[in-house]
Amino acid sequence: MAQKIVMTDLGGFPDFAIEQGIAKEKGYDFVCLKTNKEDEIIAGAKDADGLIVVYAQITEKIINALPKCKIIVRTGIGYNNIDIEAASKKGIMVANVPDYCQGEVADHTMALLLTLVRKVAFLNNQVKKKNWSFIEAKPIPRLAETTLGLYGCGSIAQAVAKRAQAFGIAVQGFDPYLPDDAFAKLNIKKVDADTLFATSDFLSLHAPLTPETQHIVNMATLKKMKKTAVIVNTARGPLVNADDVYKALKEGIIAGAGLDVLETEPPAFPLNLSELENAIVTPHAAYYSDSSEPELRQKATLEVIRTLSEGKPKFWLNKKAFS
């Protein structure tokens, strides 16, 4: 009997043709439940050997109802919708796809940063109001005289650093897990977190969501920053306390914010941040290109198949629990 792969939900994908096509080509049964509901996932995935998850919350209750499951793969980089502790106790491996959209996210990060710093959106709106003047947009710094701070220096942050350095922007970073020689090789100045907040002209977040990093951008850290500073978040929404950022922008504590991710998605409308001229909010679009989405879906499916055929995933999130 063929092993069975179950996809819980479609997320924003138009269909499940890619996943189904790969599974059938490799000799696996496949079904997509098209649901985020806990009870429906339990009923539909009870005989799954592997699980593909987009946005569905994979709770302890679901995990304990998966007697055959060996692997859960999150279709994306973040994995906070999966109860990894429960999966580890159940002996289920968990993996993600961290290597599929690094260029897209780095490009989007720079797009938000440059739009805010060069006041592109603001000036465009001024012209629409028949105001042919850049005076209201001041100050606009010379990029080659500025410093970008990276909170987290993984692969996406490193791609951002290369792009920023091409504009002549100096780059500094905080990452307790990156070796000193890697900082030197990347031409990123290593600093502590307090220095990063206090001395960066621009701050870009590239950290995973953990209890330690949740709301790392809050009123206390915002007040450490320059009044001319701009922050960008294309990582995880809960890294930022959006209410504090809104207050900081309104009160002139910082100069601008570009957010592609929010703590609650979709947010409740009207969204106060989107009403500010010094804030840009995009709808979790940084990862997307016409090439990155099918790549993501292919890699997620193949990661399930790799685990079922070879015994372990490439990007094994809870490996320590099995050692």
Active-site residues, by number, are 236, 265, 284
Spatial CA neighbour of 98 closest among 312, 260, 300: 300
Dist. CA 112–CA 108, nearest whole Å: 6
How big is the chain by its Cα radius of gyration, in Å?
22
In a 3-state reduction of DSSP, which class is residue 93? strand
Cis peptide before 14, with omega less than 30 degrees from 0? no
71: Cα within 13 Å, side-chain hemisphere: 29
Is 114 in contact with 120 (CB distance < 8 Å)?
yes
Q: How far apart are CA 94 and CA 80, in angstroms?
A: 11
- Phi and psi at residue 39, in whole multiples of 5°? -65, -35
For residue 188 the two structure tokens come to 């990123």
Tracing tokens 């320059």 back to the chain, one arrives at: 226
Q: Are 58 and 36 in contact (CB under 8 A)?
A: no
Q: Are 195 and 225 in contact (CB under 8 A)?
A: no
Amino acid found at 12: G
Half-sphere exposure of 181 (CA within 13 A, CB side): 0
With beta carbons less than 8 A apart as the criterion, state whether 316 and 97 touch.
no
